[in-house]
Structure 1
Amino acid sequence: MTVTEIPVPQTPAQQLDAIEQQADAEIQAIISAAVAAGLSGAAILAVLAALTNAVSTAAQQGFTVGAQIVLQGAAGRRARMRQLAIEPLPTSVEEDVRAVVEDVARRIDAAIAGEAPDTTSAPVTPTPANVELDRFRRRMRILAVTKIHQAASSATFSYARWLGLDLEWVTRRDGKACTVCASMNGRRVPAGEKFANPRAPGVPRRLWAGFQGLPPTHPSCRCRVIPRT
């Protein structure tokens, strides 16, 4: 990933929120256009590339914010490593989006095949296929948020390691932090090291597989890391 300019003069948290909202609006528009002519698995598969591009763009913007978190506060600091090495995401955007889209396409086709024909004109409850469509919208929203914050953490970690800066975990203090995230708030690690799995009352012994020492600790997690000298 490369660092690009994002003309949003806000705090990093506000920038990431804005990226989330923009990505969600684009994703929902893509899905709505896909099913406008009829809901089917083929219609969902047809927008795989567009959805991948939307999430990839959002992740790139998240990466830029994560890099700026370090670079804006480290002016004049010399790199301790010759070459900047970018920490890869736990899983790629492409494989994550493909997994969701292909799974939903199968579910929608199966739901349509199992639906009984509507012989009444009275309002009916949502069909199984529409239920799957709503679930798809939520899954894509969660995936986009998760990849944005994975990319932001990757950038912050990579640039902090390059400049020899320690990292501190920052949990969103909006009253919605889970037990895992709350237990991580304020923890620090030396430059180039990742965070160990939290151990605290109420924290599950086995965490989400996508957590590999950097935020997010779970899908939709909005924790961040910030550099410390």
Structure 2
Amino acid sequence: MTPDEAEREITDLEDSTAARVRRIVADALAGGVDASRLRSLARRLADILRGVVVGAAQLGARIAQALAGLRPRRVVIPPAVLPPVTPPIERVVARAVADLEHRPRRQVAERAADQLADVGQGLVTRAVAAGTEVVARRRPDAEVMWIAERDACLTCQRLSGHIMPPGRRFPASVTYGDKPLKWDKFDGHPPRHPHCRCRIRVVIGDMSAASAALQREARRSVVRGFSMPGESGAARVRAADRLLRRGAGLPRSVEEYGRAAVAAGRFLRGRQVPAGAGRRPR
């Protein structure tokens, strides 16, 4: 299995889970939106997503073994390491019930569908990371490394290439941005924020060169301005400026481009990752 193949499997499960949640919400609320139907929907979704979470953790364990070159073995995932399913669903439903008093019911249903789909996707991301951690903990010589996308946010870019012992939290205080991202649901492993598609990977032996390469590519992404359209362009320019002032350690042509972008206040060739340059499928 290659890293690209592994990423496709995880992304497919995240996306299919979000789509499945949307279908369930639509079917459950087709006959009307009221508190009773919303609470019944919460129970049904929790039952379904518990099974999805177990499968996602097993997927994470299988991928972790494959990418680390370990012999495939069935991994028992302790229930205690799995992300809790019921609380995030019930929080969304409670807000939806409260919204019924002052929002149109169709709007309440659409908003709940969006938020519950996000919950489903996030649970898959967390469960995959949990399965990866279980594999790492079974070997005394294993660690886990953070992998970010080329157009990840400034906080995730700063984490890319970081290596931690299994069971230890990745830091919440690091960023290339103006200030660390605050998100109370960050538990020290992916996702770092809503819609995050960072991963952790089991690494064995001296991985300093691989770690340095990922950190260098993250700095290149910051200076080049690779980012999603929804992220502030001005914040990306400021990040590139700070990094160049500190010393980015990048090829001269890349740094010259970054300085020109800072002077212009925008990235002259846009912010999209070029085709074939490592952006994950959406």
Cα deviation for residue 194 of structure 1 reads: 2.8
Give TM-score, length-normalised by structure 2.
0.62
- 2:36 maps to 1:61: no
Q: How many matched pairs?
A: 197
Distance 2:94 2:114 in 1: 15
Q: 1: distance between equivalents of 2:24 and 2:16?
A: 12
Alignment partner of 1:140 out of 104, 110, 116: 116
Match of 2:91 in 1: 99
Match of 1:153 in 2: 129
- Partner in structure 1 of residue 81 of structure 2: 88
Distance in 1, Cα, partners of 2:123 & 2:154: 21
If asked which structure has higher relative contact order (CA below 8 Å, sep 6+), I would say 1
Residue 46 of structure 1 is matched in structure 2 by 40
- In the alignment, structure 1 residue 168 sits paired with structure 2 residue 161: no
Q: Secondary structure at the match of 1:75?
A: coil
Aligned to 2:200, the other structure's residue is in SS state strand
CA contact (8 A) 2:14 2:125 kept: no
Residues 63/76 of structure 1: CA separation in 2 closer, same or farther (3 Å cut): closer
* Percent of aligned positions that are identical: 21
SS in 1 for 2:32: coil
1:197 deviates by 2.1
Q: Compute the displacement of 1:153 (Å).
A: 0.8
Distance change (3 Å), C-alpha of 1:63 and 1:137? same
- Counterpart pick for 1:33 among 4, 27, 30: 27
CA distance in 2, matches of 1:184, 1:203: 15
CA contact (8 A) 1:52 1:93 kept: yes
Alpha-carbon offset, residue 88 of structure 1: 2.4
* Bigger proportion of residues as helix: 2
Give yes or no for contact 1:63–1:151 (8 Å, CA) kept in 2.
Answer: yes
Counterpart of 2:138 in 1: which secondary structure?
helix
Give the one of 82, 96, 102 matched to 1:111. Answer: 102
In structure 2, the CA distance between the partners of 1:70 and 1:203, relative to structure 1 (3 Å rule), is farther
Give the aligned CA root-mean-square deviation in angstroms.
Answer: 2.6
User: What is residue 182 of structure 2 aligned with on the other side?
Assistant: 207
Deviating more after overlay: 26-35 vs 219-228: 26-35
1:228 to 200, 203, 210: 203
- Cα deviation, residue 196, structure 1: 1.8
Tell me the amino acid that sits aligned with residue 101 of structure 1: V
CA contact (8 A) 1:168 1:188 kept: yes
Aligned CA distance change for structure 1 residues 44 and 161 (closer, same or farther; 3 Å): same
Post-superposition shift, 1:24?
Answer: 2.2
Amino acid of the residue matched to residue 161 of structure 1? R
Deviations 1:70-107 (A, max 9, x none): 22234359xxxxx9867625x51111112211221221
CA change 1:194–1:162 in 2 (3 A) is: farther
> Could you say which residue in structure 2 is the equivalent of 1:183?
158
Q: CA deviation at 1:208?
A: 1.1
Structure 2 runs not aligned, ≥5 long = 205-282
Q: For residue 216 of structure 1, what is the aligned residue in structure 2? A: 191
For residues 158-194 of structure 1, give each alpha carbon's deviation from its aligned partner in whole angstroms, at most 9, with x where no partner exists.
Answer: 2102213111100123x3x111111111111234433
Aligned-partner Cα distance in 1 for 2:167–2:27: 44
Closer, same or farther: CA 203–163 of 1 in aligned 2, 3 Å:
farther
Q: What is the CA-CA distance between 1:210 and the residue it aligns to?
A: 1.6
- Does residue 12 of structure 1 match 2:6? yes
Any idea what SS the aligned residue of 2:102 has?
helix
